[in-house]
Amino acid sequence: MSATDVIDRLGATQLGLVTRAQLLDAGISRGTIAARVRARRLRPVHRGVYQVGPVAPPRSRELAAVLACGPGSFLSHVTAAALLKFVEDACDSAPIHVIPASDRGRRPGICAHRNAPLLPDEIAYVDSLPVTNPVRTLIDLASILPLRDVEQAFARGERDGLLRREDLLAGLRRNRTRMGACVLRALLDSETAPALTRSQAEERFLELVRKAQLAAPASNATIGKVEVDFYWRKERLVVEVDGYAFHASKRMFEGDRRRDAVLTARGLRIMRVTWHQIVDEPEAVLVRLAQALVH
């Protein structure tokens, strides 16, 4: 088998990536590797990790970081959270977070968490990429992100069925000495359940509700086939928060009215508030909401 065949075969199984160690193990000489690097047929991504060809497939940055850190390394923290869809994908220039199998020194573009050993059942795979499992990922996130971002990540995981409180509690018991564990325990012990919001307007509204110590709503709840911003199930009340671009088009306006009609047909009451009202008239918003919750 020619060197080209060997390289192409390895690359085909690793998102177009190969390592120097793999090439040497396959019988390709150091001279051949060097010649292909000079010819740009192998493009260095990290020390000892090469991209085959000019095009980098999606998620090749993440796998390249794992390969650079050696066998038995796993994507973690924000990178794992993005793959699990707990947080939004970071920009292409953001570092890749990895729990390395061994200390190979500092590598540009990689944030290595060397004091974070993994237990066997804290490992998962997303699109064949090795990552920390949902519980461990959330614990690690809590050590580096603001509390509200951690709450959002937890709410997304619960919504998508990836996180259960009993699993998280078990994970906290096993990782009680980790920095993020106390943050998550306080979050779980609070009377207000983690809430998922998708806009700055929704964030501000939720802050008002909490400061007024009103009953906590379900956030981004699904009612039939309609997803609503906030839902008080017992009171049969839906609150929709309209942000900066509210009713920017006739189509948006009509779509909202169709949604309201569907919800009203289910016997629900709908209250709409705007960004302007939340920011400039918060007391009036709270009065309306408190009245709606008692009727």
pLDDT in tens, 180-208: 998 888 888 776 677 777 777 888 899 99
The rounded distance, in Å, linking the Cα atoms of 291 and 40 is 69
DSSP string covering 239-295: EEEE-TTTT-SHHHHHHHHHHHHHHHHTT-EEEEEEHHHHHH-HHHHHHHHHHHHH-
| Structural tokens at position 130 | 């090795």
Rounded to 5, what percent of the chain is helix, strand, coil? 45, 20, 35
The rounded distance, in Å, linking the Cα atoms of 254 and 275 is 19
CB 37 within 8 A of CB 45: no
Question: Class of 200-294 per CATH?
Answer: alpha beta
Question: What amino acid is encoded at 13 in this protein?
Answer: T
pTM over 0.85: no
CB 83 within 8 A of CB 134: no
pLDDT of residue 248: 42
CB 141 within 8 A of CB 78: yes
pLDDT of residue 246: 41
Segments of the chain with pLDDT less than 50: 244-250
Q: What rounded mean pLDDT belongs to the chain?
A: 88
pLDDT of residue 91: 79
Domain residue ranges in the chain: 3-52, 60-189, 200-294
pLDDT of residue 244: 47
pLDDT of residue 259: 84
pLDDT in tens, 36-46: 999 999 999 99
The rounded distance, in Å, linking the Cα atoms of 84 and 94 is 17
